[in-house]
Structure 1
């Protein structure tokens, strides 16, 4: 390939170097922040053999080139434009200026939760491994593995301890990540999280039963009773407290003499935030978080398969807007309260949507006579079935429109099915075929059937609809 020529053509197609604010690349995509995306010559990009697809999200205009190619094109791209090489984080920050308030809020949630997802995934998968040992009739009829082989009891208990750690101490992880995102000291954020789950406090999961019995311990300070309640497994309280902590720290550093800054700023920050957390922020946000979880679970349980089908229908359009990143906080809350919720229903529905997008793209591979589209569809379809949908959705399905319609229909029907059978996940992961390992043991069969339904409906409907569209040749 002539990488210099490709870079020059991309620059011209996106409105010239004067329209480019920032540029970086990831494994497959050229990530650009443009002054005005209206200046993009979409037709020219679509006709370039090297370009596998394009889409706009999060204030960035992204050009899909593929692994290996994007690295070479990016080198030539920076040479042509004179733009210095940047990291994807730098481009994210530049692109944030193009976002509206809601998009900025979703981006903040994404920035906080994406770094801690590996810990949550590890904990959830360990819970699944523990279930293999303790679930009755899963491996041996009428018995669990622990009952059949008592010598494995301690191994299962150890795995359970490892599994629960990320959720018991979740506020520490969120406190660190959130404080860093909000511009505060991340270690003070972690300290705040530690305070919120300190063993001297009433365990947060026992708060409801203790409240009913009237047995809530409290600090009595100057005539005020402050409840000594922990925030294990919570999300919203530590998010709010971390934001307040970061702002208090920033304010103190502006007025604190430099000689006293390192001594008094951390002290006052932790003390003031701690008091606010247990008197105002914590009690209010705990109620909000519990209400949000209960509403979602209520919608899921009472809306039945119809509600699940609607969610499955809308999931891919939500992904287009980027709003799906806000689900991370909700799923984290559901998983943190897994003994009450049983797991998250969002992950399985996301998987149904991803498989449907992949199936529709693979159907395009078989019906199209366009060699470039066929090349894109083959790799993008497989990627989507495995859980990565951007190349399929933006490179094929949305471009042709009818495969996207077929995909959301397949997702809706499959989501209705898995909702009817209350299919839940106990961990996050790749929302597709590999997601089987994240599914609760009693839901695995229905998850697999749901994927088959999603694939068949989306694939078949794409074939049918393709006969009515002239752009498939």
Structure 2
């Protein structure tokens, strides 16, 4: 295969060199900033043999190439396009001004959580393994470590390793958020750690202390400030990070270079820290509780309806790129209630899209489409649906909507059965490890629904339409 020729064909299909502003790549895709996406010849692009799909998300045009090959195509692509290699941040900066204020805000939230997602997902998977070892009634009347005490040490060690990402979540968010807002990531991490300092009581412990009349406070010139930590909270550290970055950037512009080390970081961190404990933390804690209480109320009063809507809409959220924003809500639910009822529906939605892709794979006689469907199906069942959604399902449309229907049905069922996850893990078939053990049976039925229904209906529909 002549990759230089394929790269030139991709450039031409994208509207020519003059339409390409910047380009980078991830594990499987070219990620492009284009001047005008309306100039893209999607049909020609789709027919290039190295291209497995294309789509637009977050104002970036993305061309699916495949793992390994994308590195080689990218090197040829930047030469064919006459542009230099760019980082992901540079491409994001090229398109940062596009979209309305709400789109930009949601994109910013996604950009903050995507870098820390691997740590959160890994922690969730390890917590799932700990749940299997520690919870009773899964394989025996008691837990595995009760039957085999020699496993108690490794179970506790797994918990310490896994829980670290959640215990220090504000530090991770602070690092990523301040970096996104243009400040020093290390200061963001320190701010996040300050909000969960060991000398501060957790919200639960503080509430208990308040009932006993001995809740600790700071006295600031007659003003009593609660000495409360924000363990597991999302909104306080998000807004505090924005304030920190803005103060730091302002001071960098105003303070002479010779005094910046002595002034910028100490002043920015001190001011933001005081504001966080006096204003930002208490206000955002109330807002976060109000949001989670609203969702809990919906699922308490009409759980099947909530499951139906979220199951039907989550796949569409992936198309728009808004699905990452719900990670913040999952984490807030876990912090406030100890579990999330949204994430199990997410996991089933991912499996459903993969099952529809499997139906296409078995129905088609096109070898290129069959290979793309195979890798996309496996990827979706392991929690990454973009190749399945953009490379296969949206291409023919009906697999995508049949998968949405199946996930809506499964979401309705598991919401009715009150299925919850104790952590955010791998959003696919392995996601069952994050489900509370008492709900494994109901979640397994949900998995059967999203495997069987999209696969069978897509296969039959494809055979009838004869368009794959």
SS in 1 for 2:115: helix
Map Cα deviations across residues 34-85 of structure 1 (whole Å, 9 max, x no partner). 1000011112112223221111111111111222332222222222221111
Residues 1:472 and 2:467 are matched in the alignment: yes
Map Cα deviations across residues 115-161 of structure 1 (whole Å, 9 max, x no partner). 323333344344334333432222321x2344445565565455444
Which shows bigger deviation, 403-412 or 430-439? 430-439
SS in 1 for 2:308: helix
User: Residues 125 and 426 of structure 1 are in contact (CA less than 8 Å); yes or no, is this contact kept in structure 2?
Assistant: no
**Corresponding residue for 1:199?**
198
Which shows bigger deviation, 169-178 or 226-235? 169-178
Aligned 1:317-396 pairs, distance under 5 A = 317-337=316-336, 340-341=337-338, 343-396=339-392
Residues 1:441 and 2:437 are matched in the alignment: yes
**Corresponding residue for 1:179?**
178
Which shows bigger deviation, 189-198 or 131-140? 131-140
**Corresponding residue for 1:432?**
428
Distance 1:257 1:332 in 2: 41
Residues 1:59 and 2:59 are matched in the alignment: yes
**Corresponding residue for 2:30?**
30
Shift of 1:370: 4.0
Which shows bigger deviation, 112-121 or 178-187? 112-121
Distance 1:378 1:220 in 2: 63
User: Residues 52 and 66 of structure 2 are in contact (CA less than 8 Å); yes or no, is this contact kept in structure 1?
Assistant: yes
Residues 1:17 and 2:17 are matched in the alignment: yes
Distance 1:303 1:435 in 2: 24
Residues 1:414 and 2:413 are matched in the alignment: no
Map Cα deviations across residues 398-448 of structure 1 (whole Å, 9 max, x no partner). 111111121111111111122222222233333112223332222333222
Distance 1:100 1:72 in 2: 35
Q: What are the ranges of 5 or more consecutive residues in structure 2 without an aligned counterpart?
A: none
Distance 2:76 2:412 in 1: 48
Aligned 1:62-461 pairs, distance under 5 A = 62-141=62-141, 143-148=142-147, 156-337=155-336, 340-341=337-338, 343-461=339-457
User: Residues 24 and 88 of structure 2 are in contact (CA less than 8 Å); yes or no, is this contact kept in structure 1?
Assistant: yes
User: Residues 132 and 433 of structure 2 are in contact (CA less than 8 Å); yes or no, is this contact kept in structure 1?
Assistant: no
Shift of 1:89: 3.1
Distance 1:57 1:19 in 2: 17
SS in 2 for 1:62: strand
Aligned residues: 468
Distance 2:379 2:124 in 1: 24
Distance 1:419 1:182 in 2: 37
User: Residues 54 and 64 of structure 2 are in contact (CA less than 8 Å); yes or no, is this contact kept in structure 1?
Assistant: yes
Shift of 1:290: 1.4
- Are residues 374 and 192 of structure 1, via their aligned partners in 2, closer, same or farther at CA, if it must alter by over 3 Å? closer
SS in 2 for 1:231: coil
- Are residues 309 and 177 of structure 1, via their aligned partners in 2, closer, same or farther at CA, if it must alter by over 3 Å? same
Map Cα deviations across residues 323-378 of structure 1 (whole Å, 9 max, x no partner). 101012112222334xx23x222322122111111111221223334444334323
Map Cα deviations across residues 7-47 of structure 1 (whole Å, 9 max, x no partner). 11111111100000011222221221110000111121122
Which shows bigger deviation, 75-84 or 107-116? 107-116
Which shows bigger deviation, 164-173 or 243-252? 164-173
Map Cα deviations across residues 180-236 of structure 1 (whole Å, 9 max, x no partner). 221222222222222212222232222333444544322222221112111111110
Distance 2:393 2:344 in 1: 21
Distance 1:12 1:187 in 2: 43
SS in 2 for 1:85: coil
- Are residues 162 and 336 of structure 1, via their aligned partners in 2, closer, same or farther at CA, if it must alter by over 3 Å? farther
Distance 2:244 2:20 in 1: 36
- Are residues 414 and 265 of structure 1, via their aligned partners in 2, closer, same or farther at CA, if it must alter by over 3 Å? same
Distance 1:29 1:433 in 2: 24
User: Residues 128 and 441 of structure 1 are in contact (CA less than 8 Å); yes or no, is this contact kept in structure 2?
Assistant: no
Distance 1:67 1:344 in 2: 33
**TM-score in terms of structure 1 length:** 0.92
User: Residues 311 and 407 of structure 2 are in contact (CA less than 8 Å); yes or no, is this contact kept in structure 1?
Assistant: yes
